[in-house]
Structure 1
């Protein structure tokens, strides 16, 4: 990487050019990291309470610009304005959460003949690489936790929403001393230059498994990775089929399936197959009345390739399953029946509005299938049996198990992904532990004193 080039962004709704932005150069990458390193000791010495106040100011500024940011998110990614604004406000709430948690983040102590105590200290320079599907909320989580614990941050937003990233920087940066928070526009080449630098102490990445593996192969820093998922939904035979279908549709079609914890594969007890599939098809048609585009046509091609592969080896498209005519990156909510575990749509991350259904003859068979695969982000189980629910959450090798609800969770919750889905806590109070390193102090008594 030596010279600047441009990133073009086209509207996923009508394919028109939204705008273009120059990427950072190698000199700008080096300068940002050097500046971050030089300002870090000063920021680390600021009290946690003062850092928390800076985050509160940032949250207030973000709320004031929520509509502006939501408009840019909608323009670049296709996420509807209302949903995009909810994401911005969630980001503000996350900053406020860390503003309160940072000052009470603490270590432990042991009292014996001497005193041993553990002190959390900032790691230093953090590189945050954030995604396009919920760009403000995810960024605020990583930036807030890093900054309140005394780290400095160089942030690279996804190249699919660079205008969003720059506007977010414009809103947040004035709340902190110069150099504490910096934003660079760039693609994977810029991200690679950042994460491979020896000047970086921690890399926090939310994005694809391929990108996460590439980061791990070149970075010597502490890694915090939330990669892709292939989240299963297991439907027992003792639940209401219409309710279960509504849950499946919500999990598979929300934000056009472009959420980290979207439902990616469904294991359905065959005794309720017909009423469930009938209801799921009705749900898909309802979602298709007001479609949301995928982020771009490149991603649409990836989604459709999995659908086409499944159709080519025996699956049936009950709803959707084809690329529509016209401009933009639209893809219909799609229901696939007759799926099998060998199909790509059942074993790879699709990240699109696709609900592939595989029939199983028992809860045990479905649980075994749900436990399979390389990913370990999340899973959902719909059942009226407490015994089945208990066995499921104990068996599923994922960071989050949801019983009888595809989305939701307590405020401040945290989880650790498994396998190809990443490593480390990506949110919640535990993220403060990830952003710090522990120093142990042994405080003894000098000879002759008591």
Structure 2
């Protein structure tokens, strides 16, 4: 069992080589970090919003300048292919710039009251925000939560994932170098350190992106301190392939949704419901598409499939696959652990999946397209809805009536119609069920990071008026 002070070893998931070690923060280090954040909070909250935004914007420029360095570090610690990681870093810089623009515009409301009185609803910083971020898109996720917290006048203690601590610290230290002392601090550690932060009496907001188990523990800890909690706990996202779609195009969408970043994206496609009328062609096309996702692409049309983050994650993914095969599923491509170093796992296509299988009931978080053939769109929608998670869903259909019914009925934060990924900048959504609560992105995140105070002001009567 990992303790708060046991040294953490980080290995390159492509080679198994040790690339670093960190000593997790214990109670004293967490107390110190929170104490520094509390001490810095008064002056930072009183800093003009435009000045706060200017510092965050300068930090964003610095992130762009070292984007390739951060992407290489991401590849070394998590296995994410360099080009994908670089895109994440550049997205992080864009997010910081976005919040630098939005922060000074975040405003309250005036209320209509008596002629001689003034009534206001004014947002203000909540205080100290503990930001606990994952390994699968570590820079982009951290930029959003940290950026929104900073521009609204909060101070931040950041704990990056223990699977990429050097990357997390490099990014946070870079941002902190543009800020007053104590406004942004970083602590290393795994679950025990996160628990110390989540339950700390000096923390006012806990923002977490990660597993359901960790999210539950954080919510319980925060209930004891009164801290506000923002959670994105992952999902079990369905994708529906309706009758009438081009099966080859649909296979490309499913492959992208299932295999990008090794299937280790919060909104990866986890379960596929395919209409029987197109199933045969779709499965053939999907199997062919899966063969294009390879570890070191060199041929035309091939795409990069990096290793999973570590061997423990690979064991988790393979256990889902082997159980499904044992219970009657068929592997069209993949499904076997490769020989050699690293935590590689092949792009896999399974058919014959049933609702009782873990591969459809739980988040696999690996490069697996688990397909269930259904007889109708109605059956696909019913089974897609029947799940306790509520992060995202995708519908591929030429029928706009089906699209309309699906996006209204699916109990998730995000529904994508005819695209596995995509969305306008600034979009935000609220996960539901086991997937969490609260806005984690977009302008609405500024509301989450602030508390609204109602102010009523009226003139004091003079002595002569008594």
TM-score band (shorter)?
over 0.9
User: Which whole-Å CA distance do the structure 2 matches of 1:438 and 1:354 have between them?
Assistant: 44
Question: For the Cα contact (< 8 Å) 2:234–2:391, is it kept in 1?
Answer: yes
User: Which whole-Å CA distance do the structure 1 matches of 2:164 and 2:294 have between them?
Assistant: 25
User: Which whole-Å CA distance do the structure 2 matches of 1:360 and 1:369 have between them?
Assistant: 9
Pairing of 1:10-409 with structure 2 (within 5 A): 10-113=11-114, 114-219=117-222, 220=225, 221-288=227-294, 290=296, 291-409=305-423
Structure 1 outlier segments of 4+, above 4 Å: none
User: Which whole-Å CA distance do the structure 2 matches of 1:3 and 1:302 have between them?
Assistant: 24
User: Which whole-Å CA distance do the structure 1 matches of 2:282 and 2:57 have between them?
Assistant: 46
User: Which whole-Å CA distance do the structure 1 matches of 2:73 and 2:338 have between them?
Assistant: 25
SS in 1 for 2:346: coil
Q: For residues 235-267 of structure 1, what are the alpha-carbon distances to aligned partners after superposition, in whole Å with 9 as ceiling and x for unaligned?
A: 100110000010000000000000000000000
Distance 1:3 1:85, change over 3 A: closer
SS in 2 for 1:76: helix
Question: For the Cα contact (< 8 Å) 2:329–2:351, is it kept in 1?
Answer: yes
User: Which whole-Å CA distance do the structure 2 matches of 1:35 and 1:347 have between them?
Assistant: 43
User: How many residues are aligned here?
Assistant: 449
SS in 2 for 1:336: strand
SS in 2 for 1:322: coil
User: Which whole-Å CA distance do the structure 2 matches of 1:274 and 1:225 have between them?
Assistant: 39
CA apart distance, 1:305: 0.7
Q: Which runs of no fewer than 5 residues in structure 1 stay unpaired? A: none
User: Which whole-Å CA distance do the structure 2 matches of 1:282 and 1:182 have between them?
Assistant: 47
CA apart distance, 1:2: 8.8
CA apart distance, 1:109: 1.3
Quote the RMSD (CA, aligned, Å). Answer: 1.2
Q: Which runs of no fewer than 5 residues in structure 2 stay unpaired? A: 297-304
TM-score (norm 2): 0.95
State the partner residue of 1:422: 436
CA apart distance, 1:289: 5.9
Question: For the Cα contact (< 8 Å) 2:232–2:437, is it kept in 1?
Answer: yes
Q: For residues 126-183 of structure 1, what are the alpha-carbon distances to aligned partners after superposition, in whole Å with 9 as ceiling and x for unaligned?
A: 0000000011000000000000000000000000000101111231111000000000
Question: For the Cα contact (< 8 Å) 2:22–2:165, is it kept in 1?
Answer: yes
User: Which whole-Å CA distance do the structure 2 matches of 1:242 and 1:155 have between them?
Assistant: 43
Question: For the Cα contact (< 8 Å) 2:4–2:189, is it kept in 1?
Answer: no
Q: For residues 314-352 of structure 1, what are the alpha-carbon distances to aligned partners after superposition, in whole Å with 9 as ceiling and x for unaligned?
A: 111111111111110000010000011111000100110
User: Which whole-Å CA distance do the structure 2 matches of 1:63 and 1:294 have between them?
Assistant: 26
SS in 2 for 1:376: coil
TM-score (norm 1): 0.98
User: Which whole-Å CA distance do the structure 2 matches of 1:168 and 1:234 have between them?
Assistant: 38
Question: For the Cα contact (< 8 Å) 1:52–1:148, is it kept in 2?
Answer: yes
More off after superposition, 47-56 vs 15-24: 15-24
